[in-house]
Amino acid sequence: PRAVLLSDYAPYPFEIDEVRLTFRLDPHATRVLARIAFRPNPAAEPSRTMRLDGEALKLLSALIDGEEVEPRLDDTGLTVDVPDGAFVWEAEVEISPADNTALEGLYMSNGMYCTQCEAEGFRKITYYPNRPDVMAPFHVRIDGEAPVLLSNGNPVHFGEAFAEWHDPWPKPAYLFALVAGDLVAHPDTFTTKSGLPVALNIYVRPGDEGKADYAMDALKRSMRWDEETYGREYDLDVFNIVAVDDFNMGAMENKGLNIFNSKYVLASPETATDRDYELIEGIIAHEYFHNWTGNRITCRDWFQLCLKEGLTVFRDREFTGDQRSHAVKRIDDVVMLRARQFREDNGPLSHPVRPSSYIEINNFYTATVYEKGAEVIGMLKRLVGDEAYHRALDLYFERHDGQACTVEDWLAVFQDATGRDLHAFSHWYTQSGTPRLRVLEEFEDGTYTLHFQQETPPTPGQDEKGPQVLPIAVGLLSPEGDEIVPTTLLEMTESEQSFTFEGLSEKPVPSLLRGFSAPVILDRATSTEERAFLLANDTDPFTKWEAGRALARDVLIRMVTDDAQPGPAYLDALERVARDDTLDPAFRSLALALPSDDDMAQALADGGVTPDPLRINAANRALNQKIAEHLSDVLPQIYEAMEVVGPYTPDPKAAGRRSLRQTALALMSRTDGGKRAARQFETADNMTEQMGAITCLVRIGEGADQLDAFFRQWDHDRLVLDKWFALQAGLAKPGDTADTMRRLTEHPNFDWKNPNRFRSVIGGIAGNHAGFHEPSGAVYEQVIDWLVRLDPLNPQTTARMTTMFETWHRYDTDRQEMIRAALGRLRATEGLSRDTGEMVARILG
């Protein structure tokens, strides 16, 4: 397959005045009639032939200006001769939603029709210029028996077995959506700042009524927040959300008709955990915020994906911070960034925030585009300041509303609004890899100097790297623990640069990269005492947490490499945090958690040590055991004190208390044989505590009876059962992982065609570092068997799952060879999809 290049971009030769679509729904033979008014695009080379994208379509008729035409068909679309000037294209095609297992285009899930068109799914619905820079208003008629018939925009007419929708806002086809089925609405209303009423509906399957309250509440808070924070109002009479069980990702921001994986909509105290509630809130917000950053202003081409995704992730992070806690949100995000984006950037799949070439665009909805894309916006905001940031955003909306834009447009807005030259900053969009920032310090005659050195290692296709613009937020503390220099922003632009602070009476302790002000790996030799000091005294919650994390990492490294025992400095520092009632419980919970095994494998590899997954896992267990013993007095106190009395509510305060309580329970379970966890499992009246208890038990090798009971209690609930599968896959012991995986995948409820269920088991295994990498390689082989099986049905999910192998280069030669052989077998599979083919080729290098 041929790569698509950013440098090949050319505007489409035609513009569209209006699209009229009629759907005659039928599971196996849906008819789609399209009537599209084209006219020459004055900004493009004139053309007398027109190219339309189309895949797996049966063309029944094609007309131009009412006359039959004979387009030249091929595998990816058609070419047709067109008249001079404006013309009307009409086509009728037939498609089979019931046979669409790829879950892209129009497909069926549990008897209901739904669509997923981003990035290039619309070409499976009708022939069309399926690119984001072709925007048009859509008029849609749906003929079908289902009680609920939905599309984008405002409702126009409804009747017996039909509905008509009109979306006045010109949009690219990737934002098209249609839903038809037996659904129940959870209705509400919202009045915009300008006083316009909006009818809100969340559609769920019968039986799921009552599980949409929280999503609705999150939606209304998101709508208000975007008005208050960005001045952005909603722009249609209705806003609909639909929950779908079979979905390749989290959710989709289709104009006026967001479609969600039901996992990120449905919640009740009995079925959803605190974490689920938080994710629902964040994803509802994310998709809603796309209405302005993505829909009203969209991307010129798919290379610009970060323009909408990085910005929208940044906006949903701000929202969650405002609703909950900025400190906790930042720590959560950095943990995630390192686990996913740093991991990606350090391996064969590393690519810039704005890539310049792809084979299958669906493979580029990555942690780099999303999360690093959001980091880049965070740096920009820090560099220009809050006020200038909002001035630039106002200009962005004013200047580009209704357009399909590029990263250059985005940066130009900042340059024009702030007068700042952003040329050097723009390298964050084009240069891949995570910069390493080395720091040395010097103190002489009251002057304290920080010497920084930055370097970005080579990544695929990029051997030479230049320096990045790094906003480095720094504070200084006195040896007594007082803050003597509050947070100050240093702007590093060179490979090596020094910054001085004068007039200090003694050598300060630096608190570096506060708030994780730049997505870099900080490399600084420092003592255990200094880390413990920062954990105790730092005023910035991120660097305070980071000091504890670094301590834990150092201890674990020494345990793995030298069989060392954790020293009192670390354990005492941890005890101080555990006992500090002035700290937010959610923060204390984060500070008591250890880095994941995968983080440790990366940390060891960074230090030139080949990670041994079994040793890492053993060290993690041993350290948790030690912590549990050392904190044996305080843990029961925390467990009692953090009990939340009264009926369950998902609010952040209660969730924070439950989180700390769970951390205490998990540690105590290491020493009490699971006694308390078993008791909690019996009495829990909400999923957070039920799941928390059973997790503790399974982790210590107990919980067989509870797993059975849990299954019997929840065998009717798909989303809860996903948790049951994921838990066992994620916590299987290395020696049992292959058997556990076999048992789970042979289970009658392992519906492997459902992406959530597939991800629960196969993704659960991937998250079980020691189990996935168990020494025989049997788990690698089983995973590959499943990818070979899923690929012909669902290439997108298969391709995404291959990333579990992206770190193969870290491990010993035996494991490397086994992984390469397993991936080689996948690669050699006949008829392998373009999606998976591209991923495997990149991973193998």
CB of 250 to ligand B3K, least distance (A): 6
Burial 515-531 (b: 16+ CB within 10 A, else e): bbbbbbbbebebeeeeb
Residue among 281 and 309 whose Cβ is closer to Zn ion: 309
State which amino acid sits at residue 320.
T
Residue among 297 and 520 whose Cβ is closer to ligand B3K: 297
CB of 395 to ligand B3K, least distance (A): 24
Taking CB under 6 A as the criterion, the residue among 133, 287, 371, 538 binding ligand B3K is 287
**How many chain residues bind ligand B3K (CB under 6 A)?**
12
166 binds, among Zn ion, ligand B3K, none (CB under 5 to 8 A by kind): none
CB of 529 to ligand B3K, least distance (A): 44
Q: Is 309 in the site for ligand B3K (CB under 6 A)?
A: yes
Sheet holding 197-204, edge to edge: 184-191, 197-204, 238-244, 257-261, 251-252
Q: Is 359 in the site for ligand B3K (CB under 6 A)?
A: no
**Half-sphere exposure of residue 535: CA atoms within 13 angstroms, side-chain side:** 30
CB of 294 to ligand B3K, least distance (A): 7
DSSP symbol at 468: P
- What torsion, rounded to 10 degrees, do the Cα atoms 308, 314, 318, 319 define? 40
737 binds, among Zn ion, ligand B3K, none (CB under 5 to 8 A by kind): none
Cβ(532)–Cβ(573) under 8 Å?
Answer: yes
What span, in angstroms and rounded, lies between the C-alpha atoms of 226 and 790?
Answer: 40
> Residue 604's closest CA among 542, 573, 559, 547?
559
Q: Is 281 in the site for ligand B3K (CB under 6 A)?
A: no
Where is 441: in which H helix or E strand?
Answer: strand 436-444
Residue among 174 and 396 whose Cβ is closer to ligand B3K: 174
Residue among 298 and 768 whose Cβ is closer to ligand B3K: 298
Q: Is 246 in the site for ligand B3K (CB under 6 A)?
A: no
Q: Is 253 in the site for ligand B3K (CB under 6 A)?
A: yes
CB of 373 to ligand B3K, least distance (A): 11
CB of 312 to Zn ion, least distance (A): 5
CA distances from 497 to 449, 467, 474, 759 (A): 10, 11, 15, 46
Q: Is 317 in the site for ligand B3K (CB under 6 A)?
A: no
Residue among 312 and 517 whose Cβ is closer to Zn ion: 312
* Burial (CB count <10 Å: 0-12, 13-18, 19+), residue 349: buried
Q: Is 260 in the site for ligand B3K (CB under 6 A)?
A: no
Q: Is 758 in the site for ligand B3K (CB under 6 A)?
A: no
CB of 709 to ligand B3K, least distance (A): 36
Binding segment for ligand B3K (CB under 6 A), chosen from 141-149, 247-255, 531-539, 547-555, is: 247-255
Residue among 119 and 184 whose Cβ is closer to ligand B3K: 119
What span, in angstroms and rounded, lies between the C-alpha atoms of 26 and 30?
Answer: 5
Of the candidates 15, 253, 287, 806, the residue annotated as catalytic is 287
CB of 250 to Zn ion, least distance (A): 8
CB of 305 to ligand B3K, least distance (A): 8
Residue among 310 and 508 whose Cβ is closer to ligand B3K: 310
Would you state the structure tokens that stand for residue 439, as one six-digit string?
């720091």
Q: Is 176 in the site for ligand B3K (CB under 6 A)?
A: no
CA distances from 16 to 35, 36, 213, 718 (A): 11, 7, 39, 42
What span, in angstroms and rounded, lies between the C-alpha atoms of 611 and 632?
Answer: 31
Where is 200: in which H helix or E strand?
Answer: strand 197-204
Residue among 286 and 382 whose Cβ is closer to ligand B3K: 286
362 binds, among ligand B3K, Zn ion, none (CB under 5 to 8 A by kind): ligand B3K
672 binds, among Zn ion, ligand B3K, none (CB under 5 to 8 A by kind): none
Binding segment for ligand B3K (CB under 6 A), chosen from 251-259, 431-439, 621-629, 671-679, is: 251-259
Binding segment for ligand B3K (CB under 6 A), chosen from 282-290, 490-498, 606-614, 661-669, is: 282-290
N-to-C CA span, the chain = 17
Where is 436: in which H helix or E strand?
Answer: strand 436-444
Q: Is 365 in the site for ligand B3K (CB under 6 A)?
A: yes
Q: Is 353 in the site for ligand B3K (CB under 6 A)?
A: no
> Residue 670's closest CA among 693, 697, 633?
697
Binding site for Zn ion (CB under 5 A): 309, 312
> Residue 589's closest CA among 638, 649, 646, 534?
638
Q: Is 151 in the site for ligand B3K (CB under 6 A)?
A: no
Cβ(115)–Cβ(121) under 8 Å?
Answer: yes
CB of 106 to Zn ion, least distance (A): 21
Binding segment for ligand B3K (CB under 6 A), chosen from 285-293, 488-496, 636-644, 707-715, is: 285-293
Angle between helices 675-683 and 687-699 (to 10 degrees): 150
252 binds, among ligand B3K, Zn ion, none (CB under 5 to 8 A by kind): ligand B3K
| Angle made by CA atoms 278, 283, 287, in degrees to the nearest 5 | 155
Would you state the structure tokens that stand for residue 123, as one six-digit string?
């070409």
249 binds, among Zn ion, ligand B3K, none (CB under 5 to 8 A by kind): ligand B3K
DSSP symbol at 646: S
365 binds, among Zn ion, ligand B3K, none (CB under 5 to 8 A by kind): ligand B3K
What span, in angstroms and rounded, lies between the C-alpha atoms of 483 and 479?
Answer: 9
Binding track over 91-120 against ligand B3K, x by CB under 6 A: ---------------------------xx-
Residue among 253 and 806 whose Cβ is closer to ligand B3K: 253
Q: Is 286 in the site for ligand B3K (CB under 6 A)?
A: yes
Binding segment for ligand B3K (CB under 6 A), chosen from 208-216, 286-294, 377-385, 567-575, is: 286-294
120 binds, among ligand B3K, Zn ion, none (CB under 5 to 8 A by kind): none
325 binds, among ligand B3K, Zn ion, none (CB under 5 to 8 A by kind): none
Cβ(657)–Cβ(585) under 8 Å?
Answer: yes
Q: Residue 258: CB partners within 8 Å, gap ≥ 6?
A: 239, 240, 241, 242, 251, 252, 287, 288
Q: Is 492 in the site for ligand B3K (CB under 6 A)?
A: no
CB of 295 to ligand B3K, least distance (A): 10
Residue among 289 and 811 whose Cβ is closer to ligand B3K: 289
**278 catalytic, yes or no?**
no
What span, in angstroms and rounded, lies between the C-alpha atoms of 706 and 221?
Answer: 38
At residue 402, φ and ψ (nearest 5 deg) are: 85, 5
Q: Is 759 in the site for ligand B3K (CB under 6 A)?
A: no
Would you state the structure tokens that stand for residue 750, as one six-digit string?
């392992």
> Residue 618's closest CA among 733, 475, 527, 709?
733
Residue among 55 and 309 whose Cβ is closer to Zn ion: 309
820 binds, among Zn ion, ligand B3K, none (CB under 5 to 8 A by kind): none
* Burial (CB count <10 Å: 0-12, 13-18, 19+), residue 541: buried
What span, in angstroms and rounded, lies between the C-alpha atoms of 69 and 64?
Answer: 6
State which amino acid sits at residue 70.
E
Residue among 309 and 612 whose Cβ is closer to ligand B3K: 309
> How many residues appear in the chain?
845
Residues forming the active site: 287
Instruction: Give residues in contact with ligand B3K (CB under 6 A).
Output: 118-119, 249, 251-253, 286-287, 290, 309, 362, 365
